[in-house]
């Protein structure tokens, strides 16, 4: 069975906790490949492990999106890994 978001890619900022983490988890559960973006790598890695354990796909990107170069690098890494991205969720902490 194909999930609603299978074949899509989502870039989620603020993914290390709270609404951002919950959003990333839900998108992954619906089949999206998620790029997890935030400053706290340890929390991103823990979330990625949870997503992957549940059968999803996650990319950890440590970045401060208030820095334009880091934000662009996050987009570039997402596109490089996924070929494109379908949605963007900004959930600043």
In this structure, what CATH number is given to the domain that contains residue 79? 3.40.50.720
Residue 39 inside a domain? The answer is: yes
pTM metric for this prediction:
0.90
Number of domains the chain contains:
1
- What pairs with residue 89 in β-bridges? 12
pLDDT digits (tens, 9 = 90+) for 16-27: 999 999 999 999
Residue 23 inside a domain? The answer is: yes
Q: Which domain holds residue 38?
A: 9-90
Residue 1 inside a domain? The answer is: no
Q: What is the pLDDT of residue 92?
A: 62
Q: Is the dihedral of CA 82, 77, 35, 19 positive or negative?
A: negative
Q: How many Å apart are CA 88 and CA 90, to the nearest integer?
A: 7
Sheet strands side by side (includes 33-38): 57-62, 33-38, 9-13, 87-90
Burial of 54 (0-12, 13-18, 19+ CB in 10 A): exposed
Residue 24 inside a domain? The answer is: yes
Kind and range of the H or E element at 82?
helix 68-82
pLDDT digits (tens, 9 = 90+) for 14-73: 999 999 999 999 999 999 999 999 999 999 999 999 999 999 999 999 999 999 999 999
């Amino acid at each position: 069975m194909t999930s609603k978001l299978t074949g899509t890619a989502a870039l989620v900022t603020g993914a290390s906790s709270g609404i951002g983490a919950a959003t990333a988890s839900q998108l992954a559960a619906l089949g999206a490949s998620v790029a997890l973006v935030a400053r706290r790598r340890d929390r991103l890695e823990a979330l990625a492990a949870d997503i992957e354990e549940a059968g999803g796909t996650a990319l950890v990107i440590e970045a401060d999106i208030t820095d334009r170069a880091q934000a662009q690098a996050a987009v570039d890494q997402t596109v490089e890994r996924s070929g494109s991205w379908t949605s963007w969720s900004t959930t600043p902490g």
